[in-house]
Amino acid sequence: MRNLTLLGVLVCALLLCQGFVQGEEARSIFESPTPPQPAGELDRIVFAKLEQLGIKPVLCSDAVFVRRLYLDMLGKLPTSTEVREFLADQSPDKRTRLVDRLMERREFVDYWAMKWGDTLRIKAEIPVNLWPNGARAFHRFVWASLASNKPYDQFVREMLTASGSNFRVGAVNFYRAVQDRSPAGIASMVALTFMGVRTDHWPKERLDGMAVFFSQIAYKPTSEWKEEVVFWDPWGLRLVPTNFVPGRDTPGTVRPKPTDEVVSPAPPPISQEPLVGVFPDGTKVTIPPDKDPREVFADWLIRPDNPWFTKCIVNRVWAWIMGRGIIHEPDEIRDDNPPSNPELLAYLEKEMIQSGYNLRHLYRVILTSQTYQFSSIPRNLSPEAMANFASYLPRRLEAEVLIDAINDITGTTDLYTSAIPEPFTYVPRDVSAVSLADGSIISPFLTLFGRSARATGAFNERSNKPTPSQWLHMLNSSAIYSKLASGSKLTALFRSGRPIPEIVDELYLTILSRSPTPEELQTCKEYIEKSRSRGEAMVDVAWALINSPEFLYRH
């Protein structure tokens, strides 16, 4: 690491002699000269903490902000027109107004539905096997809930208490999107998803106590191919061997009635033995036989004084936006993994509860804060500075966001398909990768760039870590090259006959959401003019921009 830093210094020194943009001049592209002022309670808490650490934060420039906000809210880049409009706007509250405007966009729902898709494991095939119709129904449920800004507590309760067909009642797929459908397996998944807790660290009794609430869930196939009904089964019908085929491999197979049997036995009476469940906080509860235990659990979970529920969601949303949880990892909530700033977490919880679990309110509180608008150029790389959000954490764009951005820039599309189950699925060309409902619908790019496998729903299941193979693809693949060289938008620009500086300016605004500095413009101009093929040289400029960290990383 030290060697790298040294190398960086040397390289910078070398570059200084060659007149590249750097130092204060370079910073001024990305940072605002206005010193940050706490804009509300959230900022006051964060600034106080940073002062303790002796860190003076810096705000990002307008150009950085507009790009950052589009990527964080919509999972897509602003167009060059949108960038120009925002930069030209002189009103002091334009950043806040942009937050409000973007919240009304359809892509806002698409993008957040994608994140929930990872968390809830929306995938037709292995290992959770929702099947295509189930995956779609589940995604529709999530999408519609986010679009109508359904209160989060209600959103969760609907999933936890749902019954019905996986095709018709989207929310029941919550109980199908789990590999291990035993009561303990489901309890584990519920804890991970809504409490941010890994039950692996729990004593066995605690998991067993929680599993009781999920001990009466049954699944049954119908005569429709891959339809499955999830229902509350207080009779224990699922335990009668001829009644229920849990067979994950042959859903929809209804067992033929055995010829030597007269009729199926009548349903056994509901057990009069009341169930005794134990909530994860240790409270015992007796569940009356006529009450679905899932409801008892849901009502305990979504209470504002539940020690996990609100903490988990505010921390999760914060981590999605800021790149790191106040408790980190966001699904590692436990006593020996304390929040980096307890006061900040408590404040967000309070906001969430007072707003009636209004997710958009939570987004707004975070996105309109000065803290969110900090520069991404770190002044301090200590773990404390990172854990306290002293600068915006650069992160590589997610696979879906990255390919959508490349396609938007170049005017191209990708083919998304699912080879399984037959018949093959082909998605229309104008559908963005972000809005794909089903994790089984893939492209080689999405796979290569670490899209979530949607197997466990863990926060870190998606990997944005760079690998050499990804670089090979970005730098040198025919797939990317043909987009740059023959995509309709770029070729139109290259062949427009406009002067080179205008073309370079448009490229910069489209790809990096800012205009080039005079030095950068000069570099591009020289490269294009010196080249034997102007067309190829312009492709190379676009190629260099999409391979820069400024493009590949949200910053």
Partner 1 sequence: MVKEDRLTETRVSRREVLRHGVYGAGGVLLGSALTKSVVAQEAASAAPPKIKPKAKSVIQIFLWGGMSHNDTWDPKPGAGRDYLGEFTEVIDTNVPGIQLSALFPKLAKQADKFSLIRSMTHGNNGHETAAYIMQTGHLPGERLAYPSIGAVFAYFKGQDYKGIIPPYVVLTRSPGRFSEEGFLGPNYKAFATGGDPNAARFEVEGVVARGITDDRQKARRELLDKLNTFGRLVVDHPEIALAEESKRTAYELILGPGREVFDLSKEDPKLRDAYGRHTFGQCCLVARRLVEAGVPYIVINYPGGWDTHSNHFATMRRQCPQLDEGLAMLLQDLHDRGLLETTLVWCTGEFGRTPKVSWEPPWNGGRHHYGNVFTVLVAGGGFKGGQVVGASDEVGAAVKERPVYPVDLLGTIYALGGIDTKAKLPHPEGLDAPVLPEPNDRVKSAGLLTELIA
Which residues inside 476-505 make contact with partner 1, applying CB under 8 A? 476-479, 481
Interaction of residue 376 with partner 1, rule CB under 8 A: yes
Q: How far apart are CA 15 and CA 31, in angstroms?
A: 21
Among 144, 239, 381, 492, binds partner 1 (CB under 8 A): 381
Interaction of residue 468 with partner 1, rule CB under 8 A: yes
Interaction of residue 453 with partner 1, rule CB under 8 A: yes
What's the start-to-end Cα distance of the chain, in Å?
Answer: 21
List, in order, residues 6 or more apart from 218 with CB less than 8 Å away: 230, 231, 232, 233, 237, 238, 244
Q: How far apart are CA 7 and CA 12, in angstroms?
A: 8
Q: How far apart are CA 414 and CA 203, in angstroms?
A: 48
Among 32, 79, 358, 547, binds partner 1 (CB under 8 A): 547
Toward partner 1, which CB reaches closer, 244 or 527? 527
Smallest distance from the beta carbon of 111 to partner 1, in angstroms?
21
Among 34, 40, 127, 297, binds partner 1 (CB under 8 A): 127
Chain residues 336-365 in contact with partner 1, contact rule CB under 8 A: none
Toward partner 1, which CB reaches closer, 179 or 243? 179
Chain residues 87-126 in contact with partner 1, contact rule CB under 8 A: 125-126
Interaction of residue 472 with partner 1, rule CB under 8 A: yes
Which neighbouring-strand residues pair with 396? 553
| DSSP, residue by residue, 2-38 | HHHHHHHHHHHHHHHHHT-S-HHHHHHHHB-SSPP--
Smallest distance from the beta carbon of 466 to partner 1, in angstroms?
4
Toward partner 1, which CB reaches closer, 296 or 504? 504
Chain residues 12-51 in contact with partner 1, contact rule CB under 8 A: 12, 15, 20-22, 26-27, 29-30
Smallest distance from the beta carbon of 129 to partner 1, in angstroms?
8
Number of C-beta neighbours around residue 140 at 10 A: 13
Toward partner 1, which CB reaches closer, 296 or 552? 552
CA atoms within 13 A on the CB side of 401: 29
Interaction of residue 5 with partner 1, rule CB under 8 A: yes
Toward partner 1, which CB reaches closer, 218 or 275? 218
Q: How far apart are CA 506 and CA 516, in angstroms?
A: 9
Q: Is there a contact between 319 and 393 (Cβ–Cβ < 8 Å)?
A: no
Helix 342-354 with 309-322: angle, nearest 10 deg: 110
Among 321, 377, 431, 500, binds partner 1 (CB under 8 A): 377
Smallest distance from the beta carbon of 302 to partner 1, in angstroms?
26
Smallest distance from the beta carbon of 180 to partner 1, in angstroms?
5
Toward partner 1, which CB reaches closer, 256 or 288? 256
Site string for partner 1, 208-247 (x = CB under 8 A): ----------------------------------------
**Greatest Cα pair distance in the chain:** 93
Of 167-175, 293-301, 408-416, 467-475, which part binds partner 1 (CB under 8 A)?
A: 467-475
Interaction of residue 62 with partner 1, rule CB under 8 A: no
CA atoms within 13 A on the CB side of 539: 17
Among 34, 242, 460, 496, binds partner 1 (CB under 8 A): 460
Smallest distance from the beta carbon of 209 to partner 1, in angstroms?
19
Omega prior to 529 cis, within 30 of 0: no
Interaction of residue 1 with partner 1, rule CB under 8 A: yes
Among 456, 510, 513, 515, binds partner 1 (CB under 8 A): 456
Smallest distance from the beta carbon of 441 to partner 1, in angstroms?
11
Strands 164-165 and 228-232: antiparallel
Q: Where are the alpha helices (DSSP H) in 57-150?
A: 62-74, 80-88, 94-103, 106-120, 132-147
List, in order, residues 6 or more apart from 405 with CB less than 8 Å away: 76, 77, 397, 551
Of 47-55, 103-111, 353-361, 470-478, which part binds partner 1 (CB under 8 A)?
A: 470-478
Query: E strands within 233-348?
Result: 275-278, 284-287
Toward partner 1, which CB reaches closer, 63 or 298? 63
Number of C-beta neighbours around residue 494 at 10 A: 22
Site string for partner 1, 409-448 (x = CB under 8 A): ----------xxx--------------------x-x--xx
Interaction of residue 66 with partner 1, rule CB under 8 A: no
Helix (H, G, I), strand (E, B) or coil at 114: helix
